[in-house]
Amino acid sequence: MVFMTASFDSKVQLYDLHPPLDDFRTEVLAGLGRPLAGISQSAPKSIPPKFLYDKRGAELFDAICTLDEYYLTRTEMAILSAYAGEIATLIGDGVLIEFGSGSSQKVRIILDAMPQLPIYVGLDISKQHLQESCTQLAKDYPGLEAIAICTDYTQPLQLPDIPSIRNKHKIGFFPGSSIGNLEPQEAVQFLKNTAPLLEQGDLLIGVDLKKDKAVLEAAYDDSQGISADFALNLLTRINRELGADFELANFDYQAIYNPVGRIEMYLTSLIDQVVHLDNVEISFHAGELLRTENSYKYSISEFQEIATLAGFQSKRVWTDPQQLFSLHYLHLASR
């Protein structure tokens, strides 16, 4: 069932599809229930990364994006700026739909190149962040109609019928290499799920490239400890919202590059300990891992294979001179 409320100020429409708290509790309990007795560390305890983004988590992630070590944001922005004219031509007079709009900084590069763009739709799980950023966009781009939809876009999308975007050419925008936080088969499914929303439209998507292990590990375990705070904030959120009793000092953060092509981020239990959540006892032994995220890195051809499996054709790929990051413009192949 979809719960929906809509509120309208002069320029921003907000649709709240209420990602329920029950999902948070259920998914946290399921993820912390692993590994089952007798099963090895091959399936460590884990929590879906989408829950990292409460208000504080979103702020910490914004701080990560400004770090020297975290090359992803500035590199993707440089690619967007370098090719903004070409991107604007491909978008034409379509509707831009951003998945995980966060603080909406990157879309500004596109909007600056196409001030005539009439409609922007932002989808994000973090309602306050979404509302603030859409309101700011509507202020800064006076011709723009901004539509904010609070939803978990990693799930199959059931969007409200919005008259102003009906029958318009739609272009999804999924920057930041957030696709890398999904497992490859989930990435294919996510892309497939966008099809009913984009109709015969396009998708502009940022994808981080494979590179030197040291560069990757520094990007995900920075010298100021902000990446560590970002991961630990998940425990703070579980304590506050679900009444658990995690002791943050009993966990240490690490980011490790696995040569299968992904950075793995963990909180490691420093001691044998028992954490309580809803009358459930969750035990950790010293050295046990709780996975907070995977971040997959794809070569251009690996990502194109994923896109093809989901029914997209590659129209254009841009990269930076150091080949750190890639930006793909995909088109939904007609069936």
The rounded Cα 118 to chain-centroid distance in angstroms is 25
Cβ pair 320, 78 in contact under 8 A: yes
Long-range CB pairs of 187-190 (<8 Å, 24+ gap) are: 187/296, 187/306, 188/306, 188/309, 188/310, 189/310, 190/154, 190/310
As a whole number of angstroms, the distance between CA 162 and CA 119 comes to 11
**Residue 295 near ligand AVI by CB under 6 A:** yes
Binding characters for ligand AVI, 59-78, by CB under 6 A (x = yes): -----x-------x------
Q: Which is nearer to ligand AVI, 98 or 293 (CB)?
A: 293
Nearer to ligand AVI, 151 or 295 (CB): 295
Comparing every residue's Cβ against ligand AVI, the nearest one is 295
68 vs 138: CA distance, rounded Å: 30
Question: Tokens 């099809």, residue?
Answer: 195
Stretch that binds ligand AVI, among 11-19, 32-40, 178-186, 313-321 (CB under 6 A): 178-186
- In the complex with ligand AVI, which residue's Cβ is closer, 202 or 293? 293
Per CB under 6 A, the list member of 178, 233, 304, 326 interacting with ligand AVI is 178
Q: CA–CA separation, 147 vs 155, rounded Å?
A: 19
Q: Which of 104, 227, 269, 326 binds ligand AVI (CB under 6 A)?
A: 227
Gap between the terminal Cα atoms of the chain: 29
Residue 184 interacting with ligand AVI (CB under 6 A): no
Q: Does 181 bind ligand AVI (CB under 6 A)?
A: yes
**Helix 184-198 and helix 300-309, axial crossing angle in degrees, nearest 10:** 60
Q: Which is nearer to ligand AVI, 165 or 289 (CB)?
A: 289
Pairing of the two strands 280-284 and 273-277: antiparallel
- Of 34-42, 177-185, 189-197, 235-243, which part binds ligand AVI (CB under 6 A)? 177-185
Contacting residue, 195, 291, 293, 329, with ligand AVI by CB under 6 A: 293
CB atoms within 10 A of CB 118: 14
CB of 274 to ligand AVI, least distance (A): 28
Report the greatest alpha carbon distance in the chain: 60
Radius of gyration of the chain (CA): 20
Stretch of 158-166, 175-183, 197-205, 272-280 contacting ligand AVI, by CB under 6 A: 175-183
- Asked if 154 interacts with ligand AVI (CB under 6 A), we say no
Question: Tokens standing for 182?
Answer: 């999904």
- 176 near ligand AVI (CB under 6 A): yes
- Residue 51 found at the interface with ligand AVI (CB under 6 A): no
Kindly state whether residue 126 participates in binding ligand AVI, applying the rule CB under 6 A: no
- Where on the chain is the footprint of ligand AVI (CB under 6 A)? 64, 72, 176-178, 180-181, 220, 227, 230, 293, 295
